[in-house]
Amino acid sequence: MKGRVVITGGGTGGHLKVAKAFIDEFYKRGTPAIFIGSTSGQDRTWFENDRKLKKAIFLDTKGVVNKNILGKVSSLFKIAKEVNHCLNIFDTADVQTVISVGGFSAAPATFASILSYGCKLYIHEQNSKMGKLNELTSKFATEVFSSYLEKSKVKDYPVSSEFFDNARVREKIETIIFLGGSQGAVAINNYALSIAKKLDDLSINIIHQTGKNDFQRVKQEYEKLGINADVFDFTDDISKKMSKADFAISRSGASTLWELSANALPALFIPYPYAAKDHQYYNAKFLKDKKLCFICREKNLTSQVIDKILTCDVNSISRGLVDSINCDAIESLVDIIIENNQ
């Protein structure tokens, strides 16, 4: 493959999981990549000490969305400054391929790839609704990959093999896992506590990811109820937690949604109501249209919702999820990129 590969983007776990999938695959093929991210967000935590990288570079950039006028101008000025920095990096390292996984962290390297002669841009869009940066730059990309776009050459989402390895077809609901993501979701936490006694009376086990900020409160509430739930704030072994469950109640960020699908774990998705373009709802709707999940808005969460879940055909949904995603997505994506860059 000609030249060095840059993988850029991040800010949040969803973007960074896809970045890691690309990093690991290129390393496996003997081509350690350069990662370009931001000093803001979670980028440094994920990749500062990643030995599979040729180099990790973190730029002084921040997001533009949800900022006032002065904030937007300041963010755009920093991005413009770092574009020039990226052009120098590309020239020095002979970068000919840039893979953007989205998020504000991707902006400088993505724009630099467009301005750099002979450099090819590839975009991976995680969500059903394209982010602002990807929307703006996709017309310059050699390929845009997405699980939701019909024109994408690879429709499968890059999910770690551990979720497939721990997959099983569910027969009945004996354990429910509540997932609010690494940051947690108070609405999901409160809903879990409101139905916990009902689940316990039915001998249904509870696994609950609370997020760091709400861990102590939720743990204490289960103790008050006398329920021996598996409560944790964050874990690196989430695939093993999923594999123990027969049903999930979860946010519908793209990574979590496809990890659950890879694990063949049926789910009720509760979309984050303030997600850009309501993309979490549309992520889940993609599966719901195939009768492979349930969706409920936060404001509509009631005890009747769980009654419907407990009587669903969990086996049929689980079997359908097995066929919803293939395990070789990242290999297929990298195959296309390498073929285009011979």
Structural domain boundaries in the chain: 4-158+328-340, 162-322
Exposure string over 306-325, b if 16+ CB within 10 A, otherwise e: beebbeeebeebbebbeebb
Q: 182 a known binding residue?
A: yes
Q: Tell the residue number behind the tokens 């743990």, with chain if given.
A: 219
Exposure string over 196-211, b if 16+ CB within 10 A, otherwise e: beebbeeebbbbbbbb
Query: How many residues does the structure list for the chain?
Result: 342
Give 162-322's CATH code, choosing from 3.40.190.10, 3.20.20.70, 3.40.50.2000, 3.30.470.20. 3.40.50.2000
Are 121 and 100 in contact, with CB atoms under 8 Å apart?
yes
Q: 280 a known binding residue?
A: yes
pTM above 0.75, yes or no: yes
Give the model's pLDDT for residue 61.
83
Q: 12 a known binding residue?
A: yes
Give the model's pLDDT for residue 71.
59
Spatial separation of the C-alpha atoms in residues 249 and 238, rounded to whole Å = 14
- 4-158+328-340 architecture in CATH? 3-Layer(aba) Sandwich (3.40)
Give the model's pLDDT for residue 234.
87
Q: 103 a known binding residue?
A: no
Q: 13 a known binding residue?
A: yes
Spatial separation of the C-alpha atoms in residues 142 and 14, rounded to whole Å = 23
Domains 4-158+328-340 and 162-322 share a fold: yes
Q: 131 a known binding residue?
A: no
User: From first to last of its 342 residues, what are the pLDDT tens digits of the chain?
Assistant: 789 999 999 988 889 999 999 999 999 999 999 999 999 889 999 999 999 999 999 998 876 666 677 756 667 778 889 999 999 999 999 999 999 999 889 999 999 999 999 999 999 999 999 988 899 999 999 999 999 998 899 999 999 999 999 999 999 999 999 998 666 799 999 999 999 999 999 999 999 999 989 999 999 999 999 999 999 998 889 999 999 999 999 999 999 999 999 999 999 999 999 988 999 999 999 999 999 999 999 999 999 999 999 999 999 999 999 999 999 999 999 999 999 987
Are 134 and 279 in contact, with CB atoms under 8 Å apart?
no
Q: Which of 46, 56, 51, 53 is nearest to 31 (CA)?
A: 53
